[in-house]
Amino acid sequence: MSSERYPIEVLDEDKDDGTIVENLATLGSHVIGHRITKAERQRREDKCNVLVLTLDDGTQVELADTGVGSTDGYTSLDAFFLDPASGDHIITGVGSTDGYTVWHIYADWGDILRLELGWSRGNPFYYGYGFDINVVALPPSSDDCLPVRLVDRTRPPQAATQPALPHPQPTPPDTRKGLHPR
């Protein structure tokens, strides 16, 4: 997922087995065609740091740090910069520079978001690395839903507000000869 703006970087296979390249492409698949309305770093119990990108449709794309340090495989966000003038621009691509240590999310006019990260695959093919990318889609808005009637099952049903229809009266038996029921 690159363009002329950021030519695709080729890493030596001793440095990366394709994980970091695929990680950037995965991020691109979730953000291209959208606007970023908010970017915030959060600290969570299960992950060291998480960058949460909120998109124009309410979807949140979370990039969580992985690993524990330079001897093990890891990926961590060191810094990010969201251009405040970028709110009206649709993302058209993603790219990287400096050996995938700077990621760029850009529009036609320039970078919208720049991520500076540290990463290492550690002991080759033993440790995992790359951001854990999680996409959280918000439930559809009320405009997209059919009306729902909520029923409180803790209360007895109330009497109907409309009068009940009369029950049909049984048809009297036919008393003509030979037609008596047995």
Give the DSSP per-residue string, 79-115. EEEE-GGGGG----EEEEETTTTEEEEEETTEEEEEE
Total-model pTM? 0.71
Name the helix (H) or strand (E) containing 120.
Answer: strand 110-120
Burial (Cβ within 10 Å: 0-12, 13-18, ≥19) of residue 17: middle
pLDDT digits (tens, 9 = 90+) for 94-149: 999 999 999 999 998 889 999 999 998 877 666 778 889 999 987 765 555 444 44
pLDDT digits (tens, 9 = 90+) for 16-56: 888 899 999 999 999 999 999 999 999 887 657 899 999 99
Amino acid at 14: D
For residues 56 and 79, the answer to whether their CB atoms sit within 8 Å is: no
Give 3-state DSSP helix, strand, coil % of the chain, rounded to 5.
10, 30, 55
Q: How far apart are CA 77 and CA 114, in angstroms?
A: 11
pLDDT at residue number 174: 57
Encode 100-117: b = buried (16+ Cβ within 10 Å), e = exposed.
bebbbbbbeeebbbbbeb
